């Protein structure tokens, strides 16, 4: 189980503009065009602050007061608030007031071993961080500058710094940055301190933060002949028990072997 803060953010660090609008984000298309579908499959519980909850009420549930929409999540959801707020009918929504530590055990139990998603905002995510209860920050960065708005985070993190676990780009212009929280005493760990052996290709590439690097992909075509193509690595994923890579050209290839242009090669479940 991981506690993950997954959100979209502008280049200058805001998750909503000064008018609480997300129009700047919606121009980039649907969430299905990002990692969200894969991310939400591993989530067991949502937590959010009152501002995030009220945004959903205004802009999703009651956007048309004459035809309210159902709550968009079928997962238990905790709302952290010091005020009395309306509960959406039929939704598994639970309200909490105060610090996150007293209710964390209940939240974790409800997750059933799956991940906990901090939907927002930045102040609530910072509370989890200050309590030692934040594992990852996953930011979908939009190439816009807002200058004002709701900050992505309200606590300072500089020593030890966050660990960059992966970078992923999308055709719609968005970039995903996956960051791991490094707790004091764990500074000696991290991806650069070891070379993983006897693990999946996906784990090797993810752990070495190689996305975006120029590579040569060797694969077999339908006739069994060995082929190769070059490009920049955008994603690594599993499908039907096989390892696939996606290049910046958009092509997806079932992988037999991968070589960096500088000569380092991966394949067969070990560093070659």
104-160 pLDDT per residue, tens: 989 999 999 999 999 999 999 999 999 999 999 999 999 999 999 999 999 999 989
Name the percent of the chain lying above pLDDT 70: 77
| CATH code for position 148 | 3.40.430.10
**229 shares a domain with 143:** no
Residue 25 lies in a domain: yes
Binned at pLDDT 50, 70 and 90, residue 220 comes out as confident
Query: Of 152, 180, 208, which marks where a domain is finished?
Result: 180
**174 shares a domain with 203:** no
For residue 194, pLDDT beyond 80: no
Q: Could you write out the DSSP letters of every residue in the chain?
A: --EEEEEEEETTSEEE-TTS--HHHHTT--GGGTTHHHHHHTEEEEEEEHHHHHHHIIIIITSSTTSPPPPS--S-EEEE-SS--PPPTT--EEEE-S-SHHHHHHHHHHHTTSEEEEEE-HHHHHHHHHTT---EEEEEEES---SSSEES--S---SSPPEEEEEEE-TTS-EEEEEEPPPTT-TT-SGGG----SS-HHHHHHHTT-TT-EEEEEEE-TTS-EEEEEEEEEEEEEETTEEEEEETTS-EEE-SEEEETTS-EEETTEE-
Residue 191 lies in a domain: no
**156 shares a domain with 202:** no
**164 shares a domain with 200:** no
């Amino acid at each position: 189980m991981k506690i993950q803060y997954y959100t979209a953010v502008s280049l200058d660090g805001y998750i909503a503009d000064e008018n609480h609008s997300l129009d700047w984000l919606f121009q980039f298309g649907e969430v299905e065009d990002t990692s969200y579908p894969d991310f939400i499959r591993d989530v067991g519980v949502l937590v959010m602050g009152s501002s995030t909850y009220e945004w959903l009420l205004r802009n999703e549930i009651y956007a048309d007061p004459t035809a309210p929409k159902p709550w968009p999540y079928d997962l238990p959801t905790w709302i952290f608030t010091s005020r009395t707020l309306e509960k959406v009918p039929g939704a598994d929504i639970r309200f909490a007031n105060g610090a996150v530590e007293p209710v964390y055990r209940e939240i974790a139990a409800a997750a059933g071993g799956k991940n906990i998603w901090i939907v927002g905002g930045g102040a609530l995510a910072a509370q989890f961080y200050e309590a030692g209860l934040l594992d990852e920050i996953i930011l979908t960065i939009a190439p816009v500058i807002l200058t004002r708005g709701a900050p992505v985070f309200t606590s300072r993190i500089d020593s030890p710094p966050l660990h960059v676990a992966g970078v992923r780009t999308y055709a719609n212009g968005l970039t995903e940055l996956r960051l791991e929280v490094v707790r004091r005493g764990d500074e000696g760990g991290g991806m650069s301190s070891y070379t993983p052996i006897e693990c999946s290709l996906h784990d090797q590439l993810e752990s070495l933060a190689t996305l975006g690097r120029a590579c040569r992909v060797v694969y077999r075509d339908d006739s069994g002949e060995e082929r190769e193509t070059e490009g920049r690595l955008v994603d690594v994923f599993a499908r039907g028990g096989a390892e696939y890579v996606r290049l910046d050209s958009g092509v997806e290839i079932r992988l037999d072997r991968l070589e960096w242009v500088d000569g380092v090669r991966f394949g067969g479940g070990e560093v070659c």
